[in-house]
Amino acid sequence: MDLTVSVLLGTFILSVLALFVFIASMAKGLFGSGGAAAVQIFDKGEVGAVEDPAATKAQRGELQQAMDPAHLDSRRNAFEVGTRLRADQSSSLVVGVCLTIAVVWLVLASLAGLVASIKLHAPDWWVDQAWLTFGRIRPIHLNLVAYGWCSMAGIGVALWLIPRLLKTELVGAKYALLGGALWTVGVTAGTVAIGLGHSDGLEWLEYPWTIDILLVVGGALVGFPMWLTLLRRKVAHLYVSVWYIAAGLLWFPILFLVANWPGLHFGVQQATMNWWYGHNVLGLWFTPLGLAAAYYFIPKVLGKPIYSYNLSLLGFWSLAFFYSQVGGHHLIGGPVPSWLITISIVQSMMMVVPVVAVAINQHFTVAGNFRALLYSPTLRFIVLGAMLYTAASVQGSLQALRSVNTVTHFTHYTVAHAHLGLYGFFSMVMFGSIYFIMPRVMKWEWPYPWMISAHFWLVLGGFAVYFIGLSFGGWYQGLAMLDKDIPFMDSVTLTIPYLQARSVGGSLMTLGHLVFAAHFFMMGWKFGPRRLGAALLAAPDAAPAAARPVPAKEAAKGATGGMAA
Ligand code: HEM
Ligand code: HEM
């Protein structure tokens, strides 16, 4: 056994051992009090009080009625409201900027995806311009969704959560603004470069490496305020979302730097590195940011702590232990040593541990309260996203098995799975989070609640058509490719109706994104009816007072004021 094999096997055994040590330490209570950490996201007496700034006044009433009618008239502690208002204010500029840029990328990325989709069943459409050919517009779409929409939305949501979770104003927001600016210049330059035909030629790593430097430096700068704020934090326990955000912000620049370092990897080694990165960017960057948001917003909207705090920590650590070696499952059947592939398949199955931990936790937090989904726009998107996280991951683990991958690899089935993960899970969670966050950032309610519903139903319907159509089409395509009696071209033509269905589904999704973007910018311009009930943490007259630091004596007396959000 050579050194590389021993090291890989060693790390695998170590991760399994680490999991057992972790479980044993948790059983002995070495991780502190789970219960105390779970209620950390609530202020004193706030458990039971619902919160969804995206809901209308009537919806909020119904939501509170459905969860805990005893809190219908509850008032918040002025000191706590003041702390939270200052935390929100400290991040609002940088968060507003990041989310605005993310929404612009979402629209452009969707249009690029739609063009790529149509080309797969109408290949002669729009072929005069080189940048519109499939070979360029497809990577433009992928990189815009990954580094434009998903990353910027994830960063914006993370930067908003950090001061709230640490009950401390965001320190060094200017570093994040600079980082976000570098990142945006990088995504713009990378998109133009791909359009002009300059690409590094590796999937997920197409931007020329000189441009990647902007994303590495930008990514590191964006994470900087989190470390500074952590140093000044006013809380004893770190809520599980902080673990996920800190890990994601630390992992991304390292992954991106190693993967893009020029002249380091060649041939098969380069392909292995490509997919080590390709899956780690999903599992160690997008997934932690998406789960951090779900772990905050689901309990917060419901006014109910998560079901098991210890289970959430088990989920985090087992993700950290097992995810980093799954990338090899993208190369099943490739010219890669089979032990490497086998380890990646075993790790892919081990991923069931964190996935089930998250699924149990989120299901039992919402269980019995599914009616709340009727009244909370935020919850509707995020609970759907959390469910689709479980679905994508279980599907992924099965897809990593050699027997299944033999059928699905090189087919549209993989593309359906890719959208289940990055769209069904991650993007849905981001939509819900943005609906919650923006009223707090802008101090203005979403002007037209019907547009939130239109967005939800358009993207849900569109995505269902996209996912179901392509999964069936891809599976039949795989079976046809494996059948020696079927000519190869038949395996291509049989997919055409499914590809057309994808264009229909994709058009609905794109329309949903246009509605979302229009609503987002209407809010940005404070267009539409003025309703401030839910957007403010405290009543308009109480807000300025609450925003002022409350003298310790007054706070000690338990002064109350402000109203439930
Ligand atoms: C935020 C929304 C979206 C996200 C996060 C997303 C994500 C992705 C990802 C990760 C891939 C790479 C898949 C793979 O290589 O297996 C991809 C490819 C693709 N996406 Fe999207 N997508 C989004 C929206 C759309 C929309 C609205 C359409 C319109 C139909 C679309 C059409 C496509 C097409 C045609 C491909 C190329 C598939 C291929 O190479 O066979 N996507 N997208
Ligand atoms: C336990 C968790 C998961 C496992 C084991 C897993 C496994 C897999 C496998 C086996 C493939 C297909 C490889 C191939 O045949 O080429 C794949 C592709 C993909 N998965 Fe997952 N998956 C998981 C979760 C997720 C999640 C949560 C996301 C999104 C956040 C995601 C996004 C993707 C994407 C975008 C691709 C397409 C990559 C490409 O070809 O460009 N997966 N996954």
pLDDT tens digits for range 87-143: 999 999 999 999 999 999 999 999 999 999 999 999 999 999 999 999 999 999 999
Q: Which of 120, 137, 141, 147 to mutate to test the pocket of ligand 1 (most atoms within 8 A of CB)?
A: 141
Cα–Cα distance, 384 to 362 (Å, whole number): 11
Residue 389 CA to ligand 1 center (angstroms) comes to 17
Which is the closest atom of ligand 2 to the Cα of 354? 1
**Given phi > 0 = left and psi -120 to 50 = alpha, else beta, which region is 299?**
alpha
For the whole prediction, is pTM greater than 0.75?
Answer: yes
pLDDT at position 292 is 97
- Of 119, 134, 117, 109, nearest to 501 by C-alpha is 117
| pLDDT band of 361, cuts 50, 70, 90 | very high
- Kindly identify the ligand whose nearest atom is closest to the C-alpha of 509: 1
- Ligand 1 pocket list (CB less than 6 A): 106, 110, 113-114, 116-117, 138, 141-142, 145, 149-150, 414-415, 418-419, 422-423, 427, 502-503, 506, 509-510
What is the number of the ligand 2 atom nearest to the C-alpha of 287?
30
Examine the pLDDT at 435 and tell me if it is beyond 50: yes
Q: For atom 2 of ligand 1, which residue has the closest CA?
A: 423
Angstrom distance (rounded) from CA 66 to CA 302: 9
Closest ligand 2 atom number to CA of residue 352: 1
What's the farthest any 2 CA atoms get from each other in the chain? 84
pLDDT tens column, 456-498: 999 999 999 999 999 999 999 999 999 999 999 999 999 999 9
Instruction: For residues 208-229, give the mean pLDDT.
Output: 95
Whether pLDDT at 230 is above 50: yes
Question: Is pLDDT of 74 > 80?
Answer: no
Mean of pLDDT values over 439-443: 91
User: For residue 104, what pLDDT is reported?
Assistant: 98
Mean pLDDT score, 333-355 = 92
Q: Cα of 113 to ligand 1 centre, how many Å? A: 6
CA-based nearest residue to 429, from 459, 466, 464, 395? 459
CA of 214 to the centre of ligand 2 (A): 26
Ligand 2 geometric centre to CA of 417 (Å): 7
301 near 372, Cβ under 8 Å? yes
Helices (H) and strands (E) in the chain, counts: 24, 0
pLDDT of 17 > 80? The answer is: no
Ligand 2 surroundings by CB, under 6 angstroms? 203, 278, 282, 286-287, 326, 329-330, 348, 351, 355, 389, 392-393, 396-397, 399-400, 405, 408-409, 414, 417-418, 421-422, 425-426
DSSP annotation of 286? I
Q: What three-state secondary structure class fits 560?
A: strand
Please report which ligand is nearest the Cα atom of 333.
2
Q: Which atom of ligand 1 is nearest to the CA of 510?
A: 27
Q: Please tell me the number of the ligand nearest to residue 110's CA.
A: 1
Closest alpha carbon to 327 in 389, 400, 391, 257: 400
Residue to substitute in 126, 136, 145, 428 for testing ligand 1 pocket (most ligand atoms within 8 angstroms of CB): 145
